[in-house]
Structure 1
C-alpha cells in the first residue's frame, strides 16, 4: 500500500491537484445525477423527481467534498460532516425508494470521483493509488453511516405503518369503547393533533398517475417524519389532505413541527392540538381541535401549531350562537370581497394603525383608507366606531381571504 508522501514537493503537488478536482465538484455532481437517472429503471417512464437535481445533487457534492478533503486531511470527522446530508437522504425511504436504488446513486458518485482522480493523477501511478485508497476508505465510512441511517428510518416507518389506526381513531372520537391488546400503552391524558395538508406542486400538475404518486410520497414522508420527530406517538392516520394523531403529552415544544413537515413533504401544513383529560374525553378534545384547525386555516396560521389559547378570541367570535348569524348578516357583502377581508384582518392585527397596515400590504396608506371606506359603504359598519369594529371582527374571524376556501366554509 502506498504510504503518505513525505517529500514536500510531492505533498504540495498532491494538494494542488486535489484542489483542482474540488473546483470541479459542481460539474461532477451533475454528471453523477445524470448517470444515475440514465442507469436507474425508476425513471424510464415517469418524470424525474425534482429532489434529484436539488437535495440529491447537494448530497453528492457533500460526499465528493468530504472524500477529496480526506485525501490530504486525515482528521476530518466524516460522521459529523455528513450527518445532515445522510438524514436528509433518508427521506427517500419515506418515498419508497429501495435500498439498492439508494446505493446505486452513491456508487455512481464514487465512480465519477475515481474517474476524475485517474484523469488528474493517473500519470503518477503511486500518487493515484494513495489518493484513491484514502478517498475509498472515507467513502466506505460514509456508506456505513448511510446504510445504518436507512435501516433505522425504515424501522421507524414500519413501526408507524404496522397497523391501520383509522378505525380505532374513528371509534375513540365517536366515544365508542375499544379493546386494546396492550392497555398499558394507552395515554392517561392523550393529546389529539389534527393536520391540514395542502397539495404539493406535483399533485396539481401532470397526469393522474403522477399526481397519485406525488400524493403517496407526501403521505409517506409525513408519516415517517412524525414517527421520528414526535415522541410518544400512539395512533396515526395520515391522508393526502389531512392527518389525525393521538399521542402522549408532547415532550418539548412542537412549534417547529409544521415547518419541518412542510420541508419534508413539499406542502404547507397547518396543525391544531388539544389535550384530553382521559381517553373518554377524546370526543370533546377532537371537536375542539377541529374548531381550532378551522380557525387556524381561516386566519392564515399555516406553518404553525395552534392551540385554543392561540385562537381563543377568534373562536369566541366565530363560535355558533343565536347572535352569530345576525352579526354575519350585517357583513354578508364581504363574502365576495376577500381582498377587503384580508385588509381588515391586517388592520386589526396592526392595532388599527393605517401606516403599519399599508407597510404589511405594501400599498399606500391612502389605499388602506379607500378600502376601509369601501367596507363601510358595503356593510354600513365603520371601523372607527367600537361596536361596529367588533361586528367586523366577528365577520373577519368567520371569513377567509381565499374565495375558494370560503366556498368550503359557507356562512
Structure 2
C-alpha cells in the first residue's frame, strides 16, 4: 500500500525512531501523570512500547490484516506493569490515542487526491487497531488490578498477619482453610531511596518511582522462592516471609547473599537485609530480631548487604539495656563537645587503624589523624594502640549509639 508513490509501511518503519521521540515528548507535555514518571521509565519502558506500536501499525498496513494476540502481548504486559505502579487507566488509554493520532498524521502528510482509496483503507486499519489496543490494554490493566487487590485483601494478607501477630495457627487454619508452611525464611529489608524519588514533590511521580522499586524487589523475591512471597513493604523497606522446605544457603549458588545482590541490582538502590529461618510459631520473635539487626547495621555505619545475628553479636549484646552499657557510653563523654575527635575515632577504627586511609576519608593530613588520636588518649585515658583500650573504645562507640 502506497501514498505519494512510496510504501507506507517502509516509510513508517524508517521514521519510527524519530516519531517515537516526538510521541514521547507529546505525552510529557500533554499528560501530567507521564511528566511525573521516573526518567528511567520514560526512556525505557514507555519509549519501547511507543516504538513497538509504530512498528505494529506498519505490519498491519503492509499485510492488510488486524493485529494478532501475540503481537499485542507486549502492550498487555506494559499495561499490567502500569497497573502495579498505580498509573491511571484513563491516562494510559489517552497515551495510546495520542500515539495513534500522531502515527496517522505522519502517514497521511504526503497524501494527494489520487491517494484517497489508500487513505481510506489505512484509516480503517487504524480504527481496527485502536479498538484492539483499547481492548487488550484495558483487559490486562483491570486483570492486574484485580489480582493486586485480591492479594492485598485476600488469603495471603490474612496469613501474613496471622504469622506476624502470633495468632493461634491451628485455629487460623480451621477458620480459613489456609495452612502455613513448615518453615519460613523471615527477612527484614531496609531500602535506599532511588534517584527518581529524590527531588520530586509528593504526588504520582514519586509514588510511581517507589512502587516501581518495590515491584522489582518483589519480583526478585518471588523468583528466588518459586512462589509469591508474603510481603509488607513500603518505600523504606519492611518484612518478607518466604516459605522454604529447608534453610537456604547463606552464600554460593542459590544463596541468600545472591538474592540480596539481585534485589539491589533490580531495584537500583542499596538493600540491607537481616534473615533467619524459623518455624511459623517463632516468626514474630525472628522478625523482631531481624528488625533490630537492620537497625544496628544502620546505626553502626556498616555497608548495605545481608546480615545475621552472628555478624553483629557485639553490637547486639551491647544494645541490651544495662548499667554496663551506660558506663561504656560514658567513656566517650569527654569527646561530646569535640565532634571532630569523635568522628576521627570512628573513622580510624572503621579503617582498621590505618592512619593514611582514615586521613583520606577525613580529607586531612595523616599527621592530623595522629594528633587527634593523641588528644583522644589524653581526654579519655584510652589509646587504640593498647589492645585492651581498643576493645573498650569499640565497645564504647557501640554503646554510645545504643543509649
Q: Sort the TM-score into its range (normalised by shorter chain).
A: 0.5 to 0.7
* TM-aligned CA distance change 1:133 to 1:365, over 3 Å: farther
Asked if 2 retains the 8 angstrom alpha-carbon contact of 1:271 and 1:293, the reply is yes
Give 1:11-410 correspondences, 5 Å limit: 19=14, 22-23=17-18, 25-37=20-32, 50-51=36-37, 55-56=41-42, 58-68=44-54, 71=58, 90-119=80-109, 121-122=110-111, 125=115, 150=141, 153-163=144-154, 172=163, 175=166, 177-178=168-169, 179-181=171-173, 182=176, 185-196=179-190, 210=202, 228-231=219-222, 232=227, 235-238=230-233, 243-249=238-244, 252=254, 253=256, 254-256=259-261, 259=264, 263=268, 270-276=272-278, 278-301=279-302, 303-320=304-321, 323-333=324-334, 343-361=344-362, 363-398=364-399
Cα distance in 1 for partners of 2:233, 2:275 equals 15
C-alpha displacement of 1:14? 7.7
User: Equivalent residue of 1:352, what SS?
Assistant: coil
* TM-aligned CA distance change 1:89 to 1:389, over 3 Å: farther
C-alpha displacement of 1:189? 1.8
Cα distance in 1 for partners of 2:348, 2:209 equals 36
Asked if 2 retains the 8 angstrom alpha-carbon contact of 1:93 and 1:153, the reply is yes
The worse-fitting range, judged by mean Cα deviation, of 320-329 and 158-167 is 158-167
Cα distance in 2 for partners of 1:296, 1:337 equals 25
Corresponding residue for residue 251 of structure 2: none
Q: Which runs of 5+ in 2 are unaligned?
A: 63-68, 249-253
C-alpha displacement of 1:63? 3.0
Q: How many residues align?
A: 376
Corresponding residue for residue 40 of structure 1: none
* TM-aligned CA distance change 1:191 to 1:270, over 3 Å: same
- When the two structures are superposed, what TM-score results if normalisation uses the length of structure 2? 0.67
C-alpha displacement of 1:161? 0.7
Asked if 2 retains the 8 angstrom alpha-carbon contact of 1:156 and 1:224, the reply is no
Cα distance in 2 for partners of 1:87, 1:361 equals 49
Cα distance in 1 for partners of 2:260, 2:300 equals 17
* TM-aligned CA distance change 1:183 to 1:281, over 3 Å: farther
- When the two structures are superposed, what TM-score results if normalisation uses the length of structure 1? 0.66
User: Equivalent residue of 2:31, what SS?
Assistant: helix
Asked if 1 retains the 8 angstrom alpha-carbon contact of 2:191 and 2:271, the reply is yes
Asked if 2 retains the 8 angstrom alpha-carbon contact of 1:157 and 1:227, the reply is no
